[in-house]
């Protein structure tokens, strides 16, 4: 602590480590970044250019008594080692996602946090995404009636990055990278037991790790969700697509373009048939405007700085942590079940 502010130090000062620095330096009351440790000299030099302490080793960083919180933003295979060392040094830990390589590693991390009586939380930052919170509001408030289908997708066309993300031993692959976010979001939205998971993996540009996937999730009530990540999609499908008994909603992109369409009149059901050169359909004829209403998406306020506000409030005993260990474990076991389903090409029971 310094001047009653929590002091944070970063292990792994790459792209995401620097994102955290910029977020905190843009102003979060009661928190500052003191310094970093990274294996690469160029990242230590960059830290110095930004007036941060560049620790000579991880041990030196952990021995700094002023440091209250250690952020671990290394590649995924190093999370366990850094987290456990920091907890044992008496630090609170914020770890990047995916928290670990598997559920056994996560269990060790949780056990150490409990033994050391320190906070151990994971940066599931996409719980603060506006698109997710908007869809969650539509779901929670039953704005579409009873939802029976949710599709959550992230599509890119750049393949998998050519760094550690393409290598199994560092925890590469899209299930661990993006899957962990969209699975966590789904489980935060649908608070039901899951009956089963069926997963297929893509290997379009990378043979070693999955560069995309599709997961079909069936919940106990029958609600189904499709989770999909693609990195060879030159035309993107909508980020979200939700179907309820009374309407549909979509969010097209990262910028919240989207709409809700809801039924206003079930009785007027006369359809003008659609005729194409080779056929005719009434079933698939679009509805006419007098039976439906197209509306803007509801607005939800969100602020990612609340993640760190909650971390500090939890350390000082004024709040409960928002991102809980049992939630992390359920997501980790979900990812393991998805890999098992893909490996055996079977529908895997869950929960
Ligand atoms: P990166 O490759 O840009 O940075 C990783 C850094 O860690 C590198 O500078 C590397 O030199 C350093 N490093 C590696 N091993 C180390 C060790 N043993 N000790 C100290 N430093 C070490 O990767 P990134 O994109 O910043 O990803 C880092 C972590 O953040 C990953 O776990 C990733 O999944 C996560 N991430 C999260 C989000 C999010 O939205 N929550 C977004 C991107 C990345």
Q: What is the pLDDT of residues 11-70, one digit of tens each?
A: 999 999 999 999 999 999 999 999 999 999 999 999 999 999 999 999 999 999 999 999
Using one digit for the tens of pLDDT, what is the confidence trace for 315-340? 999 999 999 999 999 999 999 999 99
What pLDDT is attached to residue 3?
A: 85
Which atom of ligand 1 is the closest one to the Cα of 177? 34
20 Cβ below 6 A of ligand 1 = no
Q: Which pLDDT value is given to residue 351?
A: 85
What is the reported pTM? 0.97
CA distance 81 to 219: 35
The pLDDT of residue 2 is above 90: no
The count of other CB atoms within 10 Å of the CB of residue 348 is 19
What's the 160 CA to ligand 1 centre distance in angstroms?
A: 15
SS3 label, residue 89 = coil
Among residues 82, 80, 88, 92, the alpha carbon closest in space to that of 118 is found at 92
* Domains of the chain with CATH codes: 6-123 (3.40.50.720), 127-256+297-302+333-349 (3.30.360.10)
Distance CA 163, CA 170 (A): 10
Length of the chain: 351
Whether the CB of 125 sits within 6 Å of ligand 1: yes
CA of 168 to the centre of ligand 1 (A): 15
| Ligand 1 midpoint to CA 164 (Å) | 9
Which uninterrupted H or E stretch holds 311?
Answer: helix 305-315
Strands 240-244 and 147-155, bridge-based pairing: antiparallel
Q: Measure the CA–CA gap between 54 and 33, rounded to whole angstroms.
A: 12
For residues 99 and 125, is the Cβ–Cβ distance under 8 A? no
CA-to-CA distance for 272 and 285, rounded, in angstroms?
7
Pocket test residue of 9, 12, 58, 132 for ligand 1, highest count of atoms within 8 A of CB: 12
CB 28 within 8 A of CB 8: no
Distance of CA 333 to the CA centre of its chain: 15
**170 Cβ below 6 A of ligand 1:** no
Residues 6+ apart with CB under 8 A from 45: 54
């Amino acid at each position: 602590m310094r001047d009653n502010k929590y002091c944070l130090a970063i292990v792994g000062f790459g792209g995401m480590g620097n994102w955290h620095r910029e977020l905190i330096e843009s102003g979060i009351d009661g928190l500052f970044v003191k310094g970093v440790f990274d294996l690469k000299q160029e990242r230590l030099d960059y830290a110095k250019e930004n007036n941060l302490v560049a620790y000579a080793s991880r041990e030196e960083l952990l021995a700094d008594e002023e440091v209250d919180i250690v952020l671990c933003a290394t590649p995924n295979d190093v999370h366990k080692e850094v987290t456990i060392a920091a907890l044992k040094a008496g630090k609170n830990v914020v770890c990047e996602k995916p928290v670990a390589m598997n559920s056994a590693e996560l269990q060790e991390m949780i056990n150490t946090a409990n033994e050391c009586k320190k906070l151990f939380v994971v940066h599931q930052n996409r719980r603060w995404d506006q698109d997710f919170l908007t869809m969650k509001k539509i779901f929670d408030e039953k704005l579409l009636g009873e939802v029976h289908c949710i599709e959550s997708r992230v599509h890119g066309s750049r393949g998998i990055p050519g760094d550690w993300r393409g290598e199994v031993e560092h925890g590469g692959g899209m299930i661990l990278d993006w899957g962990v976010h969209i699975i966590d979001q789904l489980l935060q939205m649908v608070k039901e037991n899951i009956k089963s998971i069926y997963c297929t993996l893509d290997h379009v540009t990378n043979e070693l790790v999955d560069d995309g996937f599709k997961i079909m999730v069936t919940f106990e009530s029958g609600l189904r969700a499709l989770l999909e990540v693609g990195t060879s999609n030159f035309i993107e499908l909508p980020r979200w697509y939700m179907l309820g008994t009374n309407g549909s909603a979509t969010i097209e992109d990262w910028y919240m373009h989207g709409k809700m369409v809801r039924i206003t009149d079930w009785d007027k059901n006369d359809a003008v048939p659609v005729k194409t050169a080779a056929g005719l359909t009434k079933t698939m004829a679009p509805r006419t405007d007098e039976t439906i209403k197209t509306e803007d998406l509801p607005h939800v306020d969100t602020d990612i700085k609340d993640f760190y506000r909650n971390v500090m409030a939890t350390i000082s005993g004024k709040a409960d942590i928002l991102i809980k260990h049992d939630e992390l474990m359920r997501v980790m076991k979900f990812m393991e079940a998805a890999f098992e389903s893909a490996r055996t090409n079977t529908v895997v029971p869950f929960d």
